[in-house]
Chain A
Amino acid sequence: MTASASKATSEKTIVRPYGDTAGDGMVQMSFTLPLPHDKKAEGAALQLAKKMGIDPAMVVHAKAMGPDFTFFVVYGSVQHLVDLRDVHVIERDYPLLSPKEVNSVVKKVMRRPLVVVGACIGTDAHTVGIDAILNIKGFAGEKGLEYYSELTVVNLGAQVSVPDLVEQARIHKADAVLVSQVVTQRDAHLHNTREMSAAFREAFPAERRPLLVIGGPRFDESMTGELGVDRIFGKGTTPGEVASYLVHALLAERKTVKRS
């Protein structure tokens, strides 16, 4: 049964949400309307649900939050269909290596440690992301990059200015620069990233520029071109993934260059 079910899944192209019956389209959502709680407010909630393609919709919970606001929980069947042929995502395009494999590739190909400089830039003081990737402590049971004997890690910490980051990258001869951005208020993470990538482009000739890697919970991984960076990592990225990517991007490229 499992085999046939998974086969069916792999051939599916059109899907709807699943409540408890195939094809029922059931979803749940919650939201607040700036209205006092009365029958009209519940009607407004239903109208919104309908406009969102949820039909029939049920207001299963409505609660006044003070005199001016009402909180709703709505269940219903969504009429929209998802066509998987139109779904495009960034799949991991590099092999996942163990720390041992990363070290041995670096040793063999570079014959020196690979230098990684990391920082939180701008006013962002949330080092949790960069620390999860760099600190030996690591994340999700994986040790951070400091644990890798063939990687030299320079963690500049929080609130590093872009000129300082460029300077430190130059001083340490960084092969890769890792930047973490958590604060997203007024799109600070996007502005800061653009500023950072522009500064590196200005400061380094293209072939000498370190690999620019950005990470944070609210980035769209497909925005590399727009932000001028080589790779974006989203929520839940582990140190092993980053290390594997660095090796892939820096060394696979180097091999091709050498061959040509």
Chain B
Amino acid sequence: MTDTHRTKYADTRRTLDLDPVTIRKARALARKAGAPVVSLAKKHTTVSVERATLRLAGLEGADVEGIPWVNRLVDVVREQVGLEHGVALPVWDAMLANNDDLLVVAQKAASGSLTFRIPEGHDAARAGRAARSSISAGMRRIDANRKHRDKLIGKYGNPPAPWIYLIVATGDIYEDIPQAQAAAREGADVIAVIRSTGQSLLDYVPEGATREGYAGTYATQENFRLMRAALDKTSAELGRYVRLTNYASGLCMPEIASLAGLERLDMMLNDSMYGILFRDINPIRTFVDQRFSRQIHARAGIIINTGEDNYLTTADAVEAAHTVTVSQLLNEYFAKEAGLEDWQLGLGHAFEINPDVPDSFRLELAHAMLARALFPDAPLKWMPPTKHMTGDIFKGFLHDGFFNLAGALTGQGILLVGMMTEAVVTPWLSDRDLALQNVRYVFNTAGKLHEDFRPAPDGFIANRAREVLGEAVDLLERVVDDSLLEAIGDGTFGLMKRPAHAGRGLDGVIKKESGYLNPAADMLDEGVAR
């Protein structure tokens, strides 16, 4: 897919006459804004990072109340000896001392019959080695899944860009499965299972196959496994690899990312700031969790999708266009720092300009071409109109057609298919069918129009793209002056003010002491260096 973009759209930058010096400056500023946040993230751990570590070591399941064993164990360890040294040292020390496996240690800890300590010297080294050996089993499974995916893609080949991305969201995994399979047969290359609305704020990952959720289905390890297995069957039937997407966001981001790697999910929604802005999750919690989850994604060969489209649902899509660019640059910086490669960066943007604004389509093209030009090797995730979908389904259908056309003209890699019934109902079978006809019509009639389409060098589109890039650089300069955390606190993105010392999940952030050990994080860091 990447190669296709390169050859087809490599000259977008030249067409828009973007100044290479300005582009380099924008990237340098993003690095400067992001670097202090990364070093802050490295100094902290979170309850969810520690729980993810236990999940990688194979701790599954929940107690009778449905509280996962990883939560029970981390909570007890924290209560007894704190998490400043990580969960691995005290837990594997206890395992070795009692000759128990991880599940038994969790159960004993929950029943109050276990006393943890922070081992030192020789004992610490022994516990560390044992932890590393357990956790490396999870890492090997993630590596094996990546290999298996590569093998399947090698066998079936990748679909041509853009990949058609469809959503299922019934709340019941056993309803989702036939819907997802039907969507794949209708032409979807990527299936996203939307999560239940409340899940991002749960500080635990629910267990097992779930049949009830609000406006979506819970992300659980078992649901992941069931859906991947079903889509593997459909992939074999169709002779093409159908990708599965879920959401590594919210308070359990590192755990969900780990489960995605363990169950061979292919794409994960994973934005650097979405949780802060739209879920009021503490900024430090988010950046720590995000770094770990992105390292997992990097290792698992998962493509991330970032959430810039969300800014445009709250802020005005013309006035805030440059905040999308800024966020894309920051997401790129954080992603690469965590070891992700260009082909894994589904940087987000959206077709959300009010259609009553004169020349709105030309503005959309300018913004979309700018993203293409700035990130020529990233797939880019192109989101359909939602904010200005009114319930007038006829107008909405045309609106979606223009969205598809802009996508075709600007070489978007992942196209979330717009529904004319957006804002009316969760999509019906017929809505999806009509939406796919819309996509096919546009790509069939105008899919190669980009070969002929060159906006005038000093025309409206090129000027607008340069203007947005300029505003993005200005904003990045202000962010660097203030620090990113302050900019977030001031409501720079999506008009939401989120101070660094507030927000959900703050009590789950722990400053590391010297002697902190997390073999999962160490292996991921080594993986990055690889």
Question: A-side interface residues toward B, CB under 8 Å?
Answer: 30-32, 63, 65-66, 69, 71, 123-125, 127-128, 131, 135, 137, 157-159, 183, 185-186, 188, 217, 235
Contact = CB atoms under 8 A, between A and B. Distances in A.
Contacts of B3: none
Given A137-B316, A183-B214, A185-B215, A158 B279 contact: yes
Contact of A128 (B171, B185, B186, B314): B314
Contacts of A125: 197, 200, 278-279
Interface stretch (B25-33, B75-83, B265-273, B427-435): B427-435
A12 to B, nearest CB: 25
Given A65-B429, A131-B314, 4 more contacts: A125-B278, A185-B426, A186-B214, A235-B391
Contacts of B200: 125
Which 3 pairs between the two chains have the least Cβ-Cβ distance? A123-B198, A123-B197, A65-B433
A127 B314 contact: yes
A158 B391 contact: no
18 contacts: A32-B429, A32-B430, A71-B433, A123-B196, A123-B198, A125-B197, A125-B279, A127-B314, A128-B387, A135-B495, A137-B316, A137-B495, A158-B280, A159-B279, A183-B214, A185-B214, A186-B214, A217-B423
A159 B313 contact: no
A128 B186 CA distance: 32
Interface residues of B, number: 28
B442 interface: no
Contact of A71 (B315, B426, B430, B495): B430
A183 B215 contact: yes
A158 B280 CA distance: 9
A127 B495 CA distance: 12
Interface string B39-65: 000000000000000000000000000
Interface in B270-327: 278-280, 313-316
Given A65-B186, A65-B430, A123 B313 contact: no
B197 A183 contact: yes
Interface in B242-267: none
Contacts of A32: 428-430
A132 to B, nearest CB: 10
B280 A157 contact: yes
Could you say which of A31, A123, A124, A127 has the most chain B C-beta atoms within 10 Å of its C-beta?
A123
Contacts of B278: 125, 127, 158
B124 interface: no
Contacts of B35: none
Nearest to A32: B430
Given A65-B433, A123-B198, A128-B313, A188 B182 contact: no
Contact of A30 (B196, B391, B430): B430
B438 to A, nearest CB: 14
Contacts of A137: 315-316, 495
